[in-house]
């Protein structure tokens, strides 16, 4: 996988509708934050419904690491089918840097039946 593939790779049960959080700490400069509304789009099928796309407004723990406000993207996903798994999601977000930077990360996840 490429360097812009996020380490988050959840298994999602068919019929579940989880929130997903992806850290951008590894690409942000000191004091830089994510801004605006991120673009989150499925790349492999048209099965998924992805809503509530936002930069985190509360501190999180992702993969055992603390992530401060403004350093992660969160979204809600549903509609996954085991037969079409795995899914690839592209996340694009801008930053508070001057000039603003744009970062892209990909998240892969598998749909499981149990």
Helix (H, G, I), strand (E, B) or coil at 35: strand
pLDDT at 114: 72
72 versus 17: the higher-pLDDT residue is 72
pLDDT in tens, 78-101: 999 999 999 999 999 999 999 999
Ordered by where they begin, the domains of the chain are 11-112 (2.60.40)
Name the residue with higher pLDDT: 97 or 12. Answer: 97
pLDDT of 78? 94
**Residue 13 tokens, joined:** 């049960």
| Cα 38–chain centre separation | 9
* CA count, 13 A, side-chain hemisphere, 12: 29
Residue 27 sits at φ, ψ, to 5 deg, of: -115, -10
Q: What is the pTM of this model?
A: 0.89
Confidence of residue 26 (pLDDT cuts 50, 70, 90): very high
């Amino acid at each position: 996988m490429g360097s812009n593939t996020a380490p988050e790779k959840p298994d999602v049960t068919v019929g579940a509708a989880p929130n997903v959080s992806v850290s951008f700490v590894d690409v942000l400069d000191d004091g830089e934050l994510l801004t605006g509304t991120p673009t989150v789009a499925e790349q492999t099928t048209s099965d998924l419904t992805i809503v509530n796309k936002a930069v985190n407004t509360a501190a999180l723990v992702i993969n055992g690491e603390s992530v401060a406000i403004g350093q992660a993207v969160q979204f809600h996903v549903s509609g996954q089918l085991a037969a079409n798994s795995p899914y690839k999601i592209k996340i694009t977000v801008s930053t508070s840097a001057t000039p603003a930077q744009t970062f892209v990360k990909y998240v892969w996840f598998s749909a499981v039946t149990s």
